[in-house]
Amino acid sequence: MLSGEQTLAGRFGTHHTVRVAGALIVLLCVVAVLAPVIAPYSPAAQLDIVALKNTPPSRAHPFGTDWFSRDVLSRVIFGARVSLSVAGLSALLSTTVGTAYGLAAGYAGGRVEQMMMHLLDALLSIPRVLLLVAVLALWQPVPLPGLVLVLGLTGWYGVSRIVRAEVRNASSREYVLAARALGASNVRVVLRHLLPNVAGPIIVATTLGVANVIVLEAGLSFLGVGAREPNASWGTIFFTGGSSPTDTWWVALFPGVAIVVTVLAFNVLGDALRDILDPRQLHSIGSRSSD
């Protein structure tokens, strides 16, 4: 096992990574908010469809230009707005729905809980990507709020599993029994006593959920069913870049790097928060990009 010294060093390292990852995320948010100030061009402007079509990175266009002579750097900067807000909002929605469902199931117990968990198993076995592609392609064009909605409503299963497990764990503890003995109502017990005690894992799951949704939304936009012009996300840049990555590597590389750096920051932050908030290491399973 770890010696005390190693654990301390580990803790320190953890806090250090939290700071770095957190700072990176704040920076990305600032870039997203200040996009019109920072970006050299408009993300939709077709600068010169003849002379500036598919030009490789240069001093004037550090990330190059795409098929429609749009500046890729400006598109990446503005893409941060769409990618981050879609991912953040739908992760919040997933967390809210998942927490409510998990709290209800865990607190209800018995047959109700069993039924709810069976339903959850059924939902978990539907490949999320296929479901999303189907809904988004069949009802296209889906506006951004719709995208947030379907991403959020298909992403809460993992959270509700974690919350339900934690609630079951907590609901037999003395403090809950005491609250009940004092005559607290069910709603009060759940909201005032159970919820604060399962907050740690929920925060961790939400952080990892944001990373998850950024990748997922990028993939959907890459297929052409996610965020649409003029609200291009990082994934949309590939789809409407208009040529193959073998010809114009810069159109594929730079938005990809933006995605990887952001997702990495959220994953590192989530892992570190888990070490701090959730020492029992309750892992959210199967949270790879497309579950």
Partner 1 sequence: MRRQLAARLLKSLIVVLIVTTISFFLIRSAPGDPFSYEGPNFTPAIRAQWREQFGYNRPLPEQFARYVASVARGEFGYSHARRRPVRDALADALPRTVLLVGVSLALSFVLGIVLGVVQSTRPGSRIDRAISNVLLLFYSLPDFWFAMIMLVGFTLWLPLFPPGGIVDPVMHDYMGPWQAFADRLAHLVLPAATLTLLTSAAVARYQRSAMLDVLPMEFVQAARAKGLSERRVVWRHALRTALTPVIALLGLLLPALVGGSVFVETVFSWPGMGLLTADAIFNRDYDLVTASVVVGAVMVALGNLLADMLHGLVDPRLRD
| Minimum CB–partner distance for residue 3 and partner 1 (Å) | 9
| Minimum CB–partner distance for residue 129 and partner 1 (Å) | 3
Among 205, 268, 269, 273, binds partner 1 (CB under 8 A): 268
Range 4-21 burial, b when 16+ CB lie within 10 A, else e: eeeeeeeeeebeebbeeb
Q: Tell me the C-alpha distance between 150 and 226, whole Å.
A: 11
Listing DSSP states for 127-150 in one string gives -HHHHHHHHHHHTPSPPHHHHHHH
Q: Is 277 an interacting residue with respect to partner 1 (CB under 8 A)? A: no
Which residues are bridge partners to 65 per DSSP? Answer: 71
Nearest to 272 by CA among 259, 281, 261, 262: 281
Q: Tell me the C-alpha distance between 146 and 143, whole Å.
A: 5
Site string for partner 1, 216-255 (x = CB under 8 A): --xx--xx-----------x--x------xx--x--x---
| Residue ranges in 27-56 that form contacts with partner 1 under rule CB under 8 A | none
Tokens of 216: 């997922």
Q: Tell me the C-alpha distance between 146 and 277, whole Å.
A: 33
Q: Which is nearer to partner 1, 94 or 171 (CB)?
A: 94
Q: Is 20 an interacting residue with respect to partner 1 (CB under 8 A)? A: no
Among 138, 181, 182, 187, binds partner 1 (CB under 8 A): 138
Q: Which is nearer to partner 1, 29 or 223 (CB)?
A: 223
Q: Site residues (CB under 8 A) for partner 1?
A: 1-2, 6, 9-10, 118, 121-122, 124-130, 133-135, 137-139, 211, 215, 218-219, 222-223, 235, 238, 245-246, 249, 252, 256, 259-260, 263-264, 267-268, 271, 281, 283, 285-291
